């Protein structure tokens, strides 16, 4: 048995429980109408990724795996000043601009291609990580979650940040390679390599679903 096989066996043994963390699958990041600067080939990748995530969400529900929805939710009363600085935007510029992503109450903040079911946990964040400035860690602890799978958009930014913070919170983390995407092919490959080095095991969505089925058999 390989080291990876032993790692995965540990996740499905002894009644371990898991959750699926869906990060930022919102119009601002997934709807082609909001991404005019992204190349067509990359838009195809994003579309396929959204479909894969939606399928994985359905499979999680069937397997009894809690789905946790993590959304960026900017508000008009509190601009993200460091983000404005990094992007070279004058802090005195009227906010939000038409290009500002995921402002609550606007179409850009809506889920895209999928949506939470009644009773599923929704976490609203103001930065990259689903853990920063939220009660996500506490919510997972209260639900007895032992390990997590992270999917969503984009792999180089909010998925990476969320997976890293889950890892730093002491949770084994899996990232599904085909259930997350970047807007450039090289960036996706490099980001997955960095995540594999520092915070998560990389599997496919099908492999994650198979793990959930194995896990259910032990409960």
| C-beta separation of 76 from 96 below 8 A | yes
Tell me: the pLDDT tens digits for 50-99?
A: 999 999 999 999 999 999 999 999 988 877 888 888 888 887 787 777 77
133-139, long-range: CB within 8 Å, 24+ apart, which pairs?
136/68, 136/70, 137/169, 139/68
Closest CA to 204 of 187, 215, 192: 192
Q: What is the pTM of this model?
A: 0.95
Q: How far is the C-alpha of 152 from the C-alpha of 133, rounded, in Å?
A: 19
- Once rounded to an integer, what is the mean pLDDT over residues 199-216? 94
pLDDT averaged over the chain? 94
Measured between alpha carbons, how far is residue 153 from residues 5, 13, 19, 46, 148 in Å?
A: 27, 30, 17, 9, 16
CATH number of the domain bearing residue 145: 3.40.50.850
Q: Where in the sequence is the domain holding 28, given as residue range(s)?
A: 3-218
Distance between CA atoms of residues 131 and 28, nearest Å: 21
10 DSSP assignment:
H
Other beta carbons within 10 angstroms of residue 7's beta carbon come to 12
The answer on pLDDT for 100 being more than 90 is no
Q: How confident is the model at residue 142 (pLDDT cuts 50, 70, 90)?
A: very high
Query: Residue 99: what pLDDT?
Result: 76
State the Rg of the chain over Cα: 17
Q: Is 204 helix (H, G, I), strand (E, B) or coil?
A: coil
Tell me the pLDDT tens digit for each residue of 22-37. 999 999 999 999 999 9
* Average pLDDT of the residues in 116-138: 97
Query: Into how many domains does the chain fold?
Result: 1
pLDDT for residue 4: 79
Of residues 78, 104, 95, 203, the one with CA closest to residue 149: 203
Residues 173-205 pLDDT 10s: 999 999 999 999 999 999 999 999 999 999 999
Instruction: Give the residue, 170 or 91, on which the prediction is more confident.
Output: 170
- Of 174, 181, 179, 141, which is closest to residue 157 (Cα–Cα)? 181
Reply yes or no on whether the pLDDT at 14 is more than 90: no
Residue 209 has pLDDT above 80, yes or no: yes
3-state helix, strand and coil shares in percent for the chain, rounded to the nearest 5: 45, 20, 35
Q: Is the peptide bond before 84 cis (omega within 30 degrees of 0)?
A: no
In the prediction, which pLDDT does 219 show? 64
CB atoms within 10 A of CB 48: 13
């Amino acid at each position: 048995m390989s080291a990876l096989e032993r790692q995965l066996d540990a996740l499905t043994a002894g009644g371990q429980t898991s959750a699926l963390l869906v990060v930022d699958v919102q119009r601002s990041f997934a709807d082609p109408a909001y991404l005019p600067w992204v190349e067509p080939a990359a838009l195809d990748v994003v579309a396929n990724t959204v479909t894969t995530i939606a399928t994985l969400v359905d499979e999680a529900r069937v397997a009894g795996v809690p789905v946790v929805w993590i959304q960026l939710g900017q508000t008009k009363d509190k601009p993200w000043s460091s983000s404005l600085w990094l992007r070279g935007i004058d802090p005195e510029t009227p906010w939000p601009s038409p290009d500002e992503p995921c402002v609550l109450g606007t179409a850009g903040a809506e889920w895209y291609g999928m949506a939470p079911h009644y009773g599923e946990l929704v976490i609203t964040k103001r930065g990259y990580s689903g853990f920063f400035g939220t009660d996500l860690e506490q919510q997972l602890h209260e639900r007895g979650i032992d390990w997590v799978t992270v999917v969503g958009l984009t792999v180089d930014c909010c998925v990476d940040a969320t997976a890293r913070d889950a890892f730093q919170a002491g949770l084994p983390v899996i990232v599904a390679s085909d259930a997350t995407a970047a807007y450039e092919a090289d960036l996706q490959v490099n980001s997955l390599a960095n995540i594999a080095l520092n915070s998560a095991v990389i599997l496919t969505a099908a492999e994650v679903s198979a793990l959930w089925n194995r896990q259910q058999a032990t409960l």
